[in-house]
Amino acid sequence: MGIILIIMPFFIGLGAWLLLGKRSAPAKCPALVFHEVSNKPSLFSLSEISQKRFTAFADELVRRDYRTLRLSDAVEAPAGRGATVALTFDDAFESVFTLAAPVLRHNNQTATIFAVAGFLGRRSTWDVYAARTHCSAAQLRQLAADGFEIGSHSLTHPDLRRLDDRELAREIGDSKKLLEDSIGAPVTAFSFPFGSWNARVWEMVLNAGYRCATVYRGAAAVADSRRVPVYGVYAFDSTPSIFNKIDTTVEFSLSRAQSRIMAHFAKGSAVVKFRKEYKR
Ligand SMILES: [Zn+2]
């Protein structure tokens, strides 16, 4: 475990450097995407972060005077004074409720949590290695009541680009309605499963009434300010490397490049199962 975590960032960083060159323009309000927070580190899950590291990072945000914004506020509010960051969680695993939210609440911080509407309170089926439990409707309701933003991460976590219009409308529109019924508040932020989207998917997201979405960085991604580029946080990240991703004064960040590579190959998920195996 230890040696992998030491060697891995080096090779990912080297690959990023070779493949992507050194330009990586920073965003106005930087945003991060977390997945699982854990007290029992898993050998296979690069997308999880320990509660200890998450706490250290959240505390450092306070120390450095960063304001945390909900994604929809980050998009709609004009650039205010001081450093800001939008924290997001894809998949709304139960650990966000049990391990991350208490830390954020304690620091008076907020986040946007993207739930897979068809899997509330159930275990995920699209990761090959570990089936993890998602927040229940009651837990999401509690999070929303505490000021966290609940966004949609689709109904069943498919690659949206592969769906026909009817299925696409279900994944995007029905998930919104289901989540709104669950939490009793509007849902206006979207996160694409596996980070996969195209012009048709984006248009459907807007037509359904969403006002913003997170995207992995790329030229097309940043062409519309309602699409907010996010950098993933992974098991090998430390507090300084996470800050590297959100520091808008740093033009080239190795940590950002690493995130891009991770997003490109893993799409935020360890290994992707075939759709037919996990269709609801
Ligand atoms: Zn996901």
Instruction: List, for residues 162-173, the tens digit of each pLDDT value.
Output: 999 999 999 999
CA of 82 to the centre of ligand 1 (A): 31
CATH topology of domain 2-15+28-272: TIM Barrel (3.20.20)
Question: Over the chain, what is the mean pLDDT?
Answer: 85
DSSP percent split of the chain into helix, strand, coil, nearest 5: 45, 15, 40
Q: Which residues contact 69 (CB under 8 A, 6 or more apart)?
A: 29, 77, 84, 85, 86, 110
Burial group, residue 196, by CB count within 10 angstroms (0-12, 13-18, 19+): middle
**Assigned token pair, 133:** 């439990």
Does residue 156 contact residue 278 with C-beta atoms inside 8 Å?
yes
Query: Tell me, what DSSP letter sits at residue 26?
Result: P
**Per-residue model confidence (pLDDT) at position 42:** 74
- What DSSP string describes 130-178? ---BBPPHHHHHHHHHTTPEEEE--SS---GGGS-HHHHHIIIIIHHHH
Alpha carbons 130 and 135: distance in angstroms, whole number: 16
Would the pLDDT of 130 be above 70?
Answer: no
Would the pLDDT of 18 be above 90?
Answer: no
User: Token pair 């998602």 is at which residue?
Assistant: 134
CA atoms within 13 A on the CB side of 127: 22
User: In this predicted structure, which of 35-39, 219-223, 237-241 has the lowest mean pLDDT?
Assistant: 219-223
CA of 96 to the centre of ligand 1 (A): 13
CA of 242 to the centre of ligand 1 (A): 20
Pick from 7-16, 79-88, 193-202 the range whose average pLDDT is largest: 193-202
Would the pLDDT of 20 be above 90?
Answer: no
* Phi–psi pair at 137, nearest 5 degrees: -60, -40
Determine the 3-state secondary structure of 119 from DSSP: helix
Structural domain boundaries in the chain: 2-15+28-272
CA of 15 to the centre of ligand 1 (A): 24
pLDDT in tens, 183-227: 999 999 999 999 999 999 999 999 999 999 999 877 677 788 899
Per-residue confidence at 2, pLDDT binned at 50, 70, 90?
A: low
CA of 122 to the centre of ligand 1 (A): 14
**Per-residue model confidence (pLDDT) at position 250:** 72
**Assigned token pair, 95:** 């650990």
